[in-house]
Amino acid sequence: MSDEASQSLKEIRLRYADRCSACARELPVGSLAVHDRETKSVSCLACVTTANSEENSRVVVDQSTGSRGASDNSIPANSGVFAGVAGASARRKYERRKQGRETRIREDHPLVGGLLLAIRDDPQSTKAWATGAQGEERLGQHLDKLAGDRVHLLHDRGIPGSQANIDHIVVSSSGVFVIDAKKYKNGRPSLRVEGGLFRPRIEKLMVGSRDCTTLVNGVHKQVDRVRAALRSAELDRIPVAGMLCFVEADWPLLGGDFTIDRVRVLWPKKAATLIAQTGDIDAPTTQLIRQTLALAFPSA
């Protein structure tokens, strides 16, 4: 898939019933699909993910050298990578849970199922997936504006052997950024330091009055996986930074971002500013990094 082809793809919710251009499966009104602006066709998410996996599988890993490429152990400069769709897996999870709940209620209450659905909200455990998807989508829109020859985006990447995913990976001339998007409306992110002179110093990530330090640990795990993938391709010299991006938090008008345990905590515009800073990594190397990480972390 070429770069231009991947940029012409956009995830949409169908306003009219359609049919997948790849597998011919019927797509009902309201379902999620990927629209190709060039061909003016739609494809189901499963077919787009499968096509991306097949594209990545053509890249051969040379176990003896750790290099990645085609049969000649090199990566063509124009080889494409599907950037993925920000928030797609979280959105699918929400749709499945919502549809499953609606089906159960209508089956258990055939006469008043529709009424019950109208007066009862989705449980918080279901709405959380929609909220997460919205956060990833909003951050993805900010990051997409940076895409170019030396800034490459990988959205919603799966972690092999895990049900977790990485919201965004950005490859730039200054390094790799692993970004976890969070959509918290209530509370201001802040750094709380406890202990000190006579007690161990402990840093906590607070969002309002909530201790959210576990989010930092989650970013560290993602960063470690990305570093391991780069190390296997002999790219361990490439710096990797972790970010926690709160897209709707109560940030102050001036300042407010901070670093906790090597993880930068900030908002979308601030993240974009840092990523856009020019570094020393040339364009062919950023292409190699992108291919390496796309293979290691396929589209979720």
Tens digit of each residue's pLDDT, the chain (300 residues): 544 455 567 777 777 788 888 888 788 776 677 888 888 888 876 676 555 545 544 443 343 334 333 333 333 333 456 788 898 888 888 888 888 989 999 899 988 888 888 888 888 888 888 888 889 999 999 899 999 888 999 999 999 988 889 999 999 999 999 999 999 878 899 999 998 778 888 999 999 999 999 999 999 999 999 999 999 999 999 999 999 999 988 898 888 999 999 999 999 999 999 999 989 999 999 999 999 999 999 988
pLDDT of residue 166: 96
8 Å CB contact between 170 and 152: yes
Amino acid identity at 240: V
8 Å CB contact between 158 and 141: no
Q: Comparing C-alpha atoms, which of 296, 32, 7, 35 is closest to residue 169?
A: 296
The b-or-e profile of 71-100 (16+ CB within 10 A means b, else e) is: eeeebeeebbbbbbbbbbbbbbbbbebbee
Residue 46 lies in a domain: no
Residue 36 lies in a domain: no
Structural domain that includes position 221: 58-296
pLDDT of residue 297: 93
8 Å CB contact between 286 and 152: yes
What are 283's two structure tokens?
């364009």
Other beta carbons within 10 Å of 202? 11
Indicate the SS3 state at residue 127. Answer: helix
Residue 132 lies in a domain: yes
Residue 49 lies in a domain: no
Question: How far lies 198's CA from each of 194, 201, 205, in Å?
Answer: 11, 9, 22
Ranges of beta strands (E only) in the chain are 9-13, 18-19, 26-27, 32-36, 41-43, 60-61, 68-69, 152-158, 165-172, 175-182, 189-194, 202-207, 210-211, 240-246, 258-260, 263-266
pLDDT of residue 75: 37
Amino acid identity at 202: I
- DSSP letters spanning 58-121: TSEE-TTT--EESTTS---TT-------TTHHHHHHHHHHHHHHHHHHHHH-TTTHHHHHHHSP
Residue 86 lies in a domain: yes
Residue 12 lies in a domain: no
8 Å CB contact between 272 and 144: no
Q: Which class for 44: exposed (0-12), middle (13-18), buried (19 or more C-beta within 10 A)?
A: buried
8 Å CB contact between 146 and 210: no
Quote the CA–CA distance of 34 and 46 in Å, as a whole number: 10
pLDDT of residue 60: 36
Residue 38 lies in a domain: no
- DSSP letter assigned to residue 163: S
Residue 32 lies in a domain: no
Indicate the SS3 state at residue 186. Answer: coil
8 Å CB contact between 289 and 229: no
Domain count, the chain: 1
pLDDT of residue 56: 46
Amino acid identity at 28: P
pLDDT of residue 9: 73
